[in-house]
Amino acid sequence: MKNKYYIGLKSGDRHLFKSFTNPTQNNYGGIYNAVIGPFKTKRGAIFMLEHGVNNPHCRCVADAERLSK
């Protein structure tokens, strides 16, 4: 298994982070309210982070991966 990219949501802010394991309420519940991911590539995660807010064309991880190409 390898590190995968996720976006953590808390108080309207979005943060990119890598995790070797799947984020759960026990691991990341105190840090983030919600998590988006896992992303296959860092490029897809950064696209979602920068352009995914209120974008009707980028609604899920697959959309972000496709649009980032």
pLDDT tens digits, residue range 11-54?
989 999 999 999 999 999 999 999 999 999 999 999 999 999 99
Distance CA 51, CA 14 (A): 12
Q: What is the pLDDT at residue 32?
A: 96
For residues 35 and 8, the answer to whether their CB atoms sit within 8 Å is: yes
Q: What is the pLDDT at residue 62?
A: 97
Q: What is the pLDDT at residue 43?
A: 97
Domain span at residue 43 reads 4-67
Say whether pTM exceeds 0.75: yes
pLDDT of 60 higher than 80: yes
Domain count, the chain: 1
Residue 22's CB is within 10 A of a number of other CB atoms, namely: 13
